[in-house]
């Protein structure tokens, strides 16, 4: 089965919204890495040397290739990535192989068969 890794970098307050939207679009699970930091076009402000930048979460979804674009577009819409600067970004990466999916494989296959 061909898989994609969708990686979303989002404001921590919308992490659950992103996960819920991805599940509704066909994702079978997610991994969240918390307290990531990043910087966009404009440097974040500091107060007395303390960083005022909001924490980010990295949300990873391992999805079936036929569902990847739909899931990517769904989380972009749910997170308002194109409407609100700094709300988040997401990308998808093709995977050559993965292990540890035996419990999710029947669901992934069923989702792909529904699309065909």
Are the C-beta atoms of 60 and 15 separated by less than 8 Å?
A: no
Q: What is the pLDDT of residue 41?
A: 65
User: pLDDT under 50 in the chain at which residues?
Assistant: none
DSSP state of 46: E
CATH class label, 3-115: alpha beta
pLDDT at position 6 is: 98
The model's pLDDT over 67-95, given as tens digits with 9 standing for 90+, comes to 999 999 999 999 999 998 888 999 999 99
Considering the entire predicted model, what is its pTM? 0.79
The predicted pLDDT at position 7 comes to 97
pLDDT for 53: 61
Q: What is the pLDDT of residue 4?
A: 95
CB-count exposure of residue 75 (10 Å: 0-12, 13-18, 19+): buried
- Domain ranges across the chain: 3-115
């Amino acid at each position: 089965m061909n898989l994609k890794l969708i990686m979303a970098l989002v404001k921590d307050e919308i992490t659950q919204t992103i996960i819920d939207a991805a599940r509704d679009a066909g994702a079978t699970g997610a991994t969240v890495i918390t307290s990531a930091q990043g910087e966009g076009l404009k440097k974040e402000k500091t107060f007395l040397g303390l960083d005022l930048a909001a924490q980010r979460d990295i949300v990873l979804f391992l999805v079936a290739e036929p569902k990847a674009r739909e899931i990517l577009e769904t989380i972009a819409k749910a997170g308002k990535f194109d409407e609100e600067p700094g709300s988040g970004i997401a990308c998808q990466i093709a995977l050559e192989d993965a292990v540890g999916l035996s419990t999710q494989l029947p669901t992934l296959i069923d989702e792909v068969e529904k699309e065909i």
